[in-house]
């Protein structure tokens, strides 16, 4: 559950649209046989959403025998290796970018570049194409994504007379006021490490820019580089102020939520999925609001994290034709509108022709990603960096947040890891 | 009618098959066969496999010969310089030493409970309870106990003006915190071993010792404890093995953190091979081999003591 968002990523960096070579989308042949679908959407709402969507697909193809298996989201991450080799379904959920690389390289995912060449997909899904491309080929389709940003307690901001900050100085000034009122600025639960990865993503992208951040994740820049140190220096300003809640290393991200809900902390750098939890806990939309992470280096183009969840066809699937049809169905504008609306997933649709639900956060998020993120759309840290580097680095981030004086040692370790991994 | 008597011309020995002739020798092997087969397939073979995989750089996906590359002892060389491996090794040592506290603690409780009062069975069951519940539950209970600011431990420390203390969030304390949690069920286990052992203590020897004026600790040390030797041996074996297998509690309570300070070898193996970001089967196998060699030292010692015992008996 904690990695609901550890999903994959949407690289909005638009890649060349491969128009032409249109294979007509509408296959009139009746689909028959079995279609086995494995899902990791085990939480109640996503599960229901998916099951309803599959039911609609079944209606269109009554001769198809669809068999759906829902696996616990955490367990899925380890089971996928087994079922992809031993007992592959026809369709499986997963995450984009580097997260799918091991399976692509082991030849376990089907190359579906042909689907991406079809105009319906090529034109409407261009924004996420990069995140699903490895070695110039596409290996899956996205079905949802969501923004990251600073979710804060609007009522506390009003009480203290604060406004949404846009610069680093304002951010820190706000934080000082919040601290003086006896609260913490940010809640975070770093027990499972990735939340610290989110902070690093934003601080590094704002300090050094998107291109630098991606180069670092790709192992092209030393962790001991002065620019990296600058990112940590900025981070340290907040840590030294006491901006983060104490003992965050003992909490999961959900366990850190009550601090914000009770008003002991005022903001949370998180993915949009946190909103549902805040509302459930009783916060109204008047009490929560959202702002884009502030500018740090003036003039630098802003870039955002926006993870994407995906569908793939295992290379050993038996009914690949039906599987392809199912993928076309999932990414269609109509289905995208339905499954991502507030009653279902409550996230952003990947199809450019679908509409976004009337929701304060979804609208702001979409606005931010489409017009206020000129630097690029990053994948989340553990998507951009290879698995091994991500685990070493995020452990380092957590250590830094607890014992900032260890920075030099941490960076040496990360640099040693970089040299052996890439 | 008379039947003519046919004389027996020669002595014909009873014909017995090869199996019948060797039945006594074969029978034990036949009974052992299923066990041996399972042992070979599920224990010996995986050990050999681990050795083999540890010589490869392989991410666990696809065929090892296609996807993996043979790297010789490279994984072991890398291990030697791996800080996390070193941390895990030290933590394993802490577990081994401190976990042994379960034996005297178990003995103490067993002695305490070895009396006849009303309801003693209930008290015994209550003390045994932590061993019956799942390690996961033990982990969760202690996690709540240690919870910073809301936990029972912090509240108690607060009463005497100490704290706050975040045991599981402190890299220097977290491992000890988990070991304490592990000692809870392990002590119960040792206790039950000693309780059964105490039933077998010869009352005549105790009587004789008493006549000779032995009591208190002298009685315990010279008369009771020697008779509890088999129980102590078993308690020692299960505690050592329990310490080396510690995994559930770490996974539940800290997930190896904060920043990897509570890892032990078995957890590190899992992290490197089967966890979310673990794609280093070869490396993990090398760690598993090292863990196996450490266990082998103890196993060899146990087997040797049992063999000696057998001889003496």
Look up residue A176 and give its two tokens.
């000082």
Contact B259 A420 (CB under 8 A): no
Contact A102 B274 (CB under 8 A): no
Most A CBs within 10 Å, among B82, B153, B258, to test the A interface: B258
- The answer to whether residue A194 sits within a structural domain is yes
B168 touches chain A (CB under 8 A): yes
Report whether pLDDT(A6) > 60: no
Number of domains in chain B: 2
Q: Are A25 and A48 in contact (CB under 8 A)?
A: no
Window from A214-223, A286-295, B117-126 with minimum mean pLDDT:
B117-126
Residue B166's pLDDT is what?
A: 87
- The answer to whether residue B14 sits within a structural domain is no
- The answer to whether residue A156 sits within a structural domain is yes
Residue A129 and residue A268 in one domain: no
Cβ-based contacts of B274 with chain A (< 8 Å): 78
Contact A192 B148 (CB under 8 A): no
Residue B294 and residue B154 in one domain: no
Cβ-based contacts of A105 with chain B (< 8 Å): 61, 67
- The answer to whether residue A22 sits within a structural domain is no
Window from A11-25, B58-72, B131-145, B159-173 with minimum mean pLDDT:
A11-25
- The answer to whether residue B101 sits within a structural domain is yes
End-to-end distance of chain B based on CA atoms, in angstroms? 68
Q: What is the C-alpha to C-alpha distance for residues A210 and A300, in angstroms, rounded to an integer?
A: 9
- The answer to whether residue B26 sits within a structural domain is no
Residue B4's pLDDT is what?
A: 59
Most A CBs within 10 Å, among B86, B276, B284, to test the A interface: B276
- The answer to whether residue B77 sits within a structural domain is yes
Mean pLDDT confidence for B166-181 = 92
Residue B119 and residue B179 in one domain: yes
Look up residue A73 and give its two tokens.
């989201």
Greatest Cα pair distance in chain B: 116
Nearest CA in chain A to B275: A78
Report whether pLDDT(A113) > 50: yes
- The answer to whether residue B7 sits within a structural domain is no
Contact A250 B60 (CB under 8 A): no
Mean pLDDT confidence for B143-148 = 90
Tell me the per-residue pLDDT of A301-336, one tens digit each, with 9 for 90 and over.
999 999 999 999 999 999 999 999 999 999 999 999
User: Which of A116-130, A256-270, B297-311 is modeled with the greatest confidence?
Assistant: A256-270
Quick check: bond before B164 cis, omega within 30? yes
Pairing of strands A141-145, A265-271: unpaired
Residue B185's pLDDT is what?
A: 94
Q: Which residue segment(s) compose the domain that B238 sits in?
A: 93-264
Residue B31, judged by CB atoms within 10 A of its CB (0-12, 13-18, 19+), counts as exposed
Distance from CA of A273 to the nearest CA of B (A): 21
Nearest CA in chain B to A398: B259
Cβ-based contacts of A249 with chain B (< 8 Å): 166, 169, 257-259
DSSP symbols for chain B: --PPPPPP-S--PPP--HHHHHHHHHHHHHHHHHHHHHHIIIIIHHHHHHHHHTTEE--SSS-HHHH-EE-TTHHHHHHHT-HHHHHHHHHHHHHHHHHTTHHHHHHHHHHHH-S--TTHHHHHHHHHHHHHS-HHHHHHHHHHHH-TTTSHHHHHHHHTT-----GGG-TTTHHHHHHHHHHHHHHHHHHHHHHHHHHTS-HHHHHHHHHTT--HHHHIIIIIHHHTHHHHHHHHHHHHHHHHH--HHHHHHTTT-STTTT--HHHHHHHHHTSTT---HHHHHHHHHHHHHHHHHHHHHHHHHHHHHHHH-
Identify the residue with better confidence: B9 or A416: A416
Between the CA of residue A237 and those of A89, A175, A243, B14, B210, what are the distances in Å? 49, 11, 9, 98, 73
Q: Which residue segment(s) compose the domain that A68 sits in?
A: 33-146+306-354
Report whether pLDDT(B29) > 90: yes
Nearest by CB: B148 against A105, A108, A247: A247
Q: Are A186 and A243 in contact (CB under 8 A)?
A: yes
Number of domains in chain A: 2
Cβ-based contacts of B169 with chain A (< 8 Å): 247, 249-250, 402
Residue B150's pLDDT is what?
A: 80
Residue A56 and residue A155 in one domain: no
Q: What percent of chain A has pLDDT over 70?
A: 93
Residue B119 and residue B146 in one domain: yes
Mean pLDDT confidence for A281-288 = 92
Residue A78's pLDDT is what?
A: 83
- The answer to whether residue B274 sits within a structural domain is no
Residue B39's pLDDT is what?
A: 95
Residue A45 and residue A175 in one domain: no
Mean pLDDT confidence for A12-21 = 32
Cβ-based contacts of B276 with chain A (< 8 Å): 3, 77-78, 387
- The answer to whether residue B16 sits within a structural domain is no
CATH code at position B161: 1.10.3720.10
Mean pLDDT confidence for B53-74 = 88
Q: What is the C-alpha to C-alpha distance for residues A165 and A268, in angstroms, rounded to an integer?
A: 14
Residue A9's pLDDT is what?
A: 34
3-class SS string, chain A: CCCCCCCCCCCCCCCCCCCCCCCCCCCCCCCCEEEEEEECCCCHHHHHHHHHHHHHHHHHCCCEEEEEEECCHHHHHHHHHHHHHHCCCCEEEEECHHHHHHHHHCCCECCCHHHHHCHHHHHHCHHHHHHHEECCEECCEEEEECCEEEEEEHHHHHHCCCCCCCEHHHHHHHHHHHHHCCCEEECCCCCCCHHHHHHHHHHHHHHHCHHHHHHHHCCCCCCCCHHHHHHHHHHHHHHHHCCECCCHHHCCHHHHHHHHHCCCEEEEEEECCHHHHHHHCCCCCCCEEEECCCECCCCCCCEEECCEEEEECECCCCCHHHHHHHHHHHHCHHHHHHHCCCCCCCCECCCCCCCCCCCHHHHHHHHHHHHCCCCEEECCHHHHCCHHHHHHHHHHHHHHHHCHHHHHHHHHHHHHHHHHHC
Residue A104 and residue A251 in one domain: no
Q: Are A147 and A369 in contact (CB under 8 A)?
A: yes
Report whether pLDDT(A150) > 60: yes
The upper half-sphere exposure of residue B5, i.e. CA atoms within 13 Å in the direction of its Cβ, equals 2
Residue A26's pLDDT is what?
A: 45
Nearest CA to A293 among A348, A375, A225, A355?
Answer: A375
Residue A156 and residue A240 in one domain: yes
CATH code at position A37: 3.40.190.10
Beta-carbon neighbour count of residue B15 at 10 Å? 6
pLDDT interval class at A11 (50, 70, 90): very low
Distance from CA of A228 to the nearest CA of B (A): 20
Report whether pLDDT(A12) > 70: no
Q: What is the C-alpha to C-alpha distance for residues B186 and B193, in angstroms, rounded to an integer?
A: 11
- The answer to whether residue A163 sits within a structural domain is yes
Beta-carbon neighbour count of residue B66 at 10 Å? 9
B149 touches chain A (CB under 8 A): yes
Nearest CA in chain A to B258: A249
Report whether pLDDT(A415) > 50: yes
Cβ-based contacts of B267 with chain A (< 8 Å): none
Report whether pLDDT(B6) > 80: no
Cβ-based contacts of A106 with chain B (< 8 Å): 59, 61-62, 67
Tell me the per-residue pLDDT of A167-222, one tens digit each, with 9 for 90 and over.
999 999 999 999 999 999 999 999 989 999 999 999 999 999 999 999 999 999 99
- Across chain A, what does the average pLDDT equal? 88
Residue A156 and residue A142 in one domain: no
Mean pLDDT confidence for A12-33 = 46
ipTM over 0.85: no
Q: What is the C-alpha to C-alpha distance for residues A141 and A349, in angstroms, rounded to an integer?
A: 12
- Across chain B, what does the average pLDDT equal? 89
pLDDT interval class at B5 (50, 70, 90): low
Q: What percent of chain A has pLDDT over 90?
A: 66
Residue B303 and residue B241 in one domain: no
Q: What is the C-alpha to C-alpha distance for residues A124 and A331, in angstroms, rounded to an integer?
A: 9
Nearest by CB: B277 against A103, A388, A396: A388
pLDDT interval class at A14 (50, 70, 90): very low
- The answer to whether residue A372 sits within a structural domain is no
Distance from CA of B260 to the nearest CA of A (A): 7
Tell me the per-residue pLDDT of B8-25, one tens digit each, with 9 for 90 and over.
566 677 778 888 888 888
Nearest by CB: B276 against A77, A85, A106: A77
Size of interface A-B (CB pairs under 8 A): 73
Contact B61 A399 (CB under 8 A): no
């Amino acid at each position: 559950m904690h990695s609901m968002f550890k999903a994959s990523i949407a690289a909005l960096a638009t890649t060349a649209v491969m128009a032409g070579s249109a294979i007509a989308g509408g296959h009139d042949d009746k689909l028959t046989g079995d279609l086995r679908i494995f899902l990791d959407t085990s939480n109640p709402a996503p599960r229901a959403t998916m099951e309803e969507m599959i039911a609609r697909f079944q209606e269109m193809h009554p001769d198809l025998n669809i068999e759906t298996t829902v696996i616990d989201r955490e367990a899925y991450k380890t089971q996928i290796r087994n079922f992809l080799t031993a007992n592959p379904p026809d369709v499986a959920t997963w995450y984009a970018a580097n997260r799918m690389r091991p399976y692509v390289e082991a030849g376990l995912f089907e190359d579906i570049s042909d689907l991406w060449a079809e105009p319906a997909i090529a034109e409407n899904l261009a924004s996420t194409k990069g995140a699903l491309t490895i070695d110039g080929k596409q290996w899956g389709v996205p079905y949802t994504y969501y923004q990251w940003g600073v979710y804060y307690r609007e009522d506390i901001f009003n009480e203290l007379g604060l406004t949404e900050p846009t610069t680093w100085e304002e951010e820190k000034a706000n934080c000082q006021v919040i601290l003086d009122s006896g609260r913490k600025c940010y809640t975070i639960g770093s027990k499972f490490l990735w939340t610290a990865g989110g902070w690093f993503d934003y601080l590094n992208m704002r300090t050094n820019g998107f291109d630098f951040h991606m180069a670092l994740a790709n192992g092209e820049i030393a962790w001991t580089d002065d620019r990296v140190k600058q990112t940590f220096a900025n981070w340290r300003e907040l840590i030294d102020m006491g901006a983060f809640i104490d003992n965050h290393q003992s909490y999961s991200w959900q366990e850190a939520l009550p601090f914000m809900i009770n008003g002991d902390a005022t903001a949370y750098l998180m993915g949009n999925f946190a909103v549902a939890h805040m509302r459930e806990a009783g916060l109204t939309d008047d009490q929560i609001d959202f702002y884009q992470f502030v500018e740090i280096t003036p003039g630098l183009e802003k870039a955002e994290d926006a993870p994407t969840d995906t569908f793939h066809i295992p290379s050993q699937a038996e009914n690949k034709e039906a599987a392809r049809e199912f993928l076309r169905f999932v990414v269609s504008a109509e289905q995208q509108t339905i499954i991502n609306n507030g009653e279902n997933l409550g996230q952003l649709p990947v199809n450019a022709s679908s509409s976004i639900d009337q929701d304060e956060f979804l609208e702001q998020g979409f606005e931010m990603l489409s017009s206020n993120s000129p630097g690029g759309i990053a994948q989340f840290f553990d998507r951009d960096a290879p698995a091994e580097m991500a685990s070493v680095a995020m452990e380092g981030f957590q250590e830094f947040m607890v014992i900032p004086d260890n920075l030099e040692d941490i960076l040496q370790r990360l640099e040693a890891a970089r040299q052996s991994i890439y | 009618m008379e039947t003519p008597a046919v004389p027996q011309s020669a002595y014909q020995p009873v014909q017995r098959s090869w199996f019948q002739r060797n039945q006594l020798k074969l029978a034990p092997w036949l009974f052992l066969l299923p066990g041996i087969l399972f042992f070979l397939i599920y224990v010996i073979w995986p050990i050999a496999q681990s050795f083999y995989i540890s010589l490869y750089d392989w991410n666990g996906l696809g065929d090892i010969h296609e996807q993996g590359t043979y790297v010789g002892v490279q994984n072991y060389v890398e291990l030697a310089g791996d800080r996390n491996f070193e941390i895990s090794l030290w933590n394993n040592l802490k577990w081994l030493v401190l976990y042994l506290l379960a034996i005297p603690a178990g003995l103490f409780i067993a002695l305490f409970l070895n009396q006849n009062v009303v309801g003693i069975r209930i008290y015994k069951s209550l003390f045994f309870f932590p061993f019956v519940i799942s390690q996961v539950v033990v982990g969760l209970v202690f996690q709540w106990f240690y919870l910073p600011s809301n936990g029972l431990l912090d509240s108690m420390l607060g009463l005497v003006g100490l704290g706050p203390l975040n045991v599981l969030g402190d890299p220097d304390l977290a491992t000890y915190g988990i070991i304490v949690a592990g000692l809870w069920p392990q002590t119960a286990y040792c206790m039950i071993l000693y309780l059964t052992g105490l039933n077998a203590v010869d009352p005549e020897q105790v009587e004789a010792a008493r006549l000779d004026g032995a009591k208190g600790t002298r009685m315990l040390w010279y008369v009771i404890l020697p008779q509890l030797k088999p129980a102590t041996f078993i308690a020692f074996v299960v505690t050592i093995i329990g310490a080396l297998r510690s995994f559930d509690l770490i996974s539940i309570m800290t997930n190896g953190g904060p920043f990897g300070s509570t890892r032990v070898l078995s957890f590190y193996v899992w992290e490197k091979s089967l966890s979310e970001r673990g794609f280093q089967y070869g490396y993990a196998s090398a760690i598993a081999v090292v863990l196996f060699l450490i266990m082998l030292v103890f196993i060899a010692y146990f087997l040797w003591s049992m063999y000696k015992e057998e001889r003496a008996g």
